[in-house]
Amino acid sequence: YIDAGSMESIDFDIKGGDNLLTGPIKAGYHVRVILWPLTQWKIGASCNAVCLEVPPGEDNKLCGEIQSCTGEAVVPGFQNNKVKIQLPADMPDLVGDEIRRFSVIGISIPSGGFFPGRLGAEVTDQNDEYPYYIESVGDFVWKSPDAGRTIARLVDNGADGNTKPYKADRGNVIYAQLLLGATLRTPRGAATAVYAKMTMTLPSGYACLAVEGVGMDLEHFDELIPQGRGTIESTYWTYADNKCTFTLPENGVIYAGSSVFLKVTVDNPSTPLSAFDEANTWTIDLEAAGDGHGSGVIKQAVTEAFRGDESIEDAAVMSSGRWSGNKAVLGKMSLVHIEPSSWIGGATHLLRIFFATEQDVTIGGQVEVVLLPDFAIPTPCEVTDLDPRIYAIGPAVPTHRIVGIADGCHSSVACTSRSAATVGVSARLVAGRRYAFGLKIRNPLGYNTTHQNSWFVYTRDFGGRRMDGSFGSVPLNEGEPTEGQSWGLYQSSLPAEAFNITVTDLRPYALTFRYARVTVAPVKVPTTVTAAVRITAPQGFIWRNIDSSGFAIHPANHSSGRVVLGYNISAPWPGGAPSVAYGNQLLFPSAVYSDAHTYGFEADVEVPERNPVAGFNEWRIEVGWNGTTSESRPFVGVFSSPPVRSLSDAYVGYTYNAVGKENVLTFRIRLESHLFGPGGIVVEMPLGFSSVPYCTPLGVNNGPSPFPTDVHCAYMPLISPFPAISIIGSRTNGIPPGLYEWRLVTSNPDEKTELVTDDST
């Protein structure tokens, strides 16, 4: 076998006739070498040819100087694909076993490939007449396509296929196009073992299930004529793990340059796979025995990787669609939900978005929010951090800011008429951490059922390719299913006097070991409606004892059941005792709510250890929450709750950590309760620290909140077994709620200690 890819010249031998049935080859005769396959070779108009010596032991008659060497086309007007030389004028006749060896120099080797085959040869007389044609014998000639000549790529226009892009998704359909750099053919009579094959190898973790032709209705084709959607018979595909192999039967052929479109059905890997991961490489392999099938030798073309738009150099094969070399296998976001700040049609408001990624997003990445077609992003695009309490530091899973919010966002409208906003990431988003931000949007005028099933959040890498996604429409409440559980519009909002919440004690249950009593009253509807009602407590609150013994729905003058005092309640709660969903939701069955009555109820609730960080500290009532038309979703009410009475945003900073040395400590804490003397703040320190008997209750750089001027700060070694300081407010002014900082001069312990951290905080 001769690999044409490494040839610097075409060397060949010719022998004359036996002078009985065929005549000699004489001086001045013309010899043509036909370069098969004709469509691959493209040579110049001129070339150089010389006569070579043959190996010792063979007839070694030299032939003299070649008169001419030119390139010709088999088909006039086509590319030159045969070499014509005129033999020397003084060459002795070539007859019998005599051999002449020639070398043709300056032939351009094709960039395309071909599998083992023969060359053609033709001899004519001095007048270029009486042609005699034969095929070459001896070595077979073959060549692997140059890198990039076989084009393999995936359709990536956002509309066709890949509708199941997440890890472990089953039956995902991906569309691919192939343009082979070499004709793939199984000759007649070839043994099964040497049939020509084409193998697509997907990244590890994929399972190849089926390969079929594609229909005429792909968005990719648009109005293209011809579509170039060549189809190959699906019955010849076989599948093994991540490999899809097409085996050509006898006389089967796929010509080089033919456009073949494939519908590839796969099971996705069980783990996410970034588009920029080196392991995320799709490849195509071609192998065939060609005309040398009788020897059993199979030649393997160079493995070609699938490539996207940015790496395809041949503009002739480009189309208006988008291509990629692979598909990112998306991770699944967790802790994801979206809360509106307005539920009414036509309102412009802040959409509050919470999520945690499965994969780290590096600097230069993006967070993308995809809206429904009816919703719009005002110009300019606006994003912002949320209320500072959302980002408070505490014992629960914290919520973090996105570094990059200050740089704003970019909005776009896709071909599906969906608005989308992207926020650049200026610092790494760490996998598993919750993040939150606000995006300003404008609501449509009315409700549509699609509104509750089509909100999406994605992260993108530095190259703009998606990494993780919300795996379905983003729910309204964290932890809910993603099917049909997004937020939806209501016809109108209940005013403050029509929906009120009172909680007896907002100290955490972990502190009091008692459930607080919640009074939902008064509740008044502007018009009489028949609807189901959902009342949602802030994230972290848990409804308790929701049964006849702990749930009060009757007004004070009612003779049966537990009663609700005050609020001028005039009728029992129409829906009766509710069911509980996800801990913080009460679901009341459909009932008639009259505009002639005032309603209310009482129930127990477990107060969380801290203010909600997985959502806003709001109570909601939704009248017609499961309605499917605008008319069946009449009212929504929102009550902003006072904060949970817990400490948060605790922080200790230091200036020097050498043993026995003076150290200036900085403390920070957020108070939610007003502390009156002799109450105050007590901070215990580890054993070994000592302090001057006073501290400076001054805000650092004027601090987030200034302490009242009449507070007293002191080091109190006897207040507990540990060194401690206290900041006591006066009986008159006390210490109001706020975020406070102060300094304390201490001496470090005399012995070294290891830093002990708690990853859960």
pLDDT in tens, 99-109: 888 999 988 99
Q: What is the pLDDT of residue 713?
A: 82
Domain chopping of the chain, boundaries: 2-143, 151-310, 331-469, 492-640, 647-748
* Fold exhibited by the domain 151-310: Immunoglobulin-like (2.60.40)
Contact between 607 and 505 (Cβ < 8 Å): yes
- 492-640 carries CATH number 2.60.40: yes
Are both 492-640 and 647-748 of the same fold? Answer: yes
All residues at 6 or more sequence positions from 721 whose CB lies less than 8 Å from its CB, including other chains: none
Residue 309: φ, ψ to 5°: -55, -45
Q: What is the pLDDT of residue 311?
A: 47
CA 728 to chain centroid, in Å, comes to 53
Q: Which pLDDT band, with edges at 50, 70 and 90, does 333 fall under?
A: very high
- 647-748 carries CATH number 2.60.40: yes
Question: Which is it for the CA torsion 127, 129, 132, 133, positive or negative?
Answer: positive
Contact between 429 and 360 (Cβ < 8 Å): yes
Q: What is the pLDDT of residue 190?
A: 94
Nearest by Cα to 335 from 444, 430, 206: 430
Average pLDDT in the 265-283 region?
96
* Fold exhibited by the domain 2-143: Immunoglobulin-like (2.60.40)
Place of tokens 């790529």: 153
Average pLDDT in the 694-708 region?
65
Distance CA 439, CA 384 (A): 7
Distance CA 291, CA 294 (A): 8
Pairing of strands 579-581, 648-653: unpaired
Q: What is the pLDDT of residue 692?
A: 65
Burial 100-132 (b: 16+ CB within 10 A, else e): bbbebebbebbebbbbbbbbbbebbeeeeeeee
Alpha helices by DSSP H, listed for 360-400, are none
β-sheet with 151-155: strand ranges across: 207-212, 259-267, 172-179, 151-155, 323-324
Lowest mean pLDDT among 195-199, 479-483, 646-650: 479-483
Contact between 10 and 110 (Cβ < 8 Å): no
Burial 388-400 (b: 16+ CB within 10 A, else e): ebbbbbbebebbb
Contact between 15 and 94 (Cβ < 8 Å): yes
Identify the burial level of 13 via C-beta atoms within 10 angstroms of its C-beta, where 0-12 means exposed, 13-18 middle and 19 or more buried: middle
- Per the prediction, the chain carries an average pLDDT of 89
Terminal-to-terminal C-alpha distance of the chain: 69
Burial 514-539 (b: 16+ CB within 10 A, else e): ebbebbbbbbbbeeebebbbbbbbbb
Q: What is the pLDDT of residue 330?
A: 96
Average pLDDT in the 53-68 region?
70
- 331-469 carries CATH number 1.10.150: no
Average pLDDT in the 499-515 region?
95
The pTM score is 0.81
Average pLDDT in the 31-52 region?
93
Q: What is the pLDDT of residue 559?
A: 66
CA 72 vs CA 38, 408, 424: distances in Å: 11, 64, 59
Contact between 451 and 486 (Cβ < 8 Å): yes
Helix (H) or strand (E) holding 512: helix 509-512
CA 300 vs CA 34, 99, 139, 181, 274: distances in Å: 24, 33, 17, 13, 30
Q: Which pLDDT band, with edges at 50, 70 and 90, does 316 fall under?
A: very low
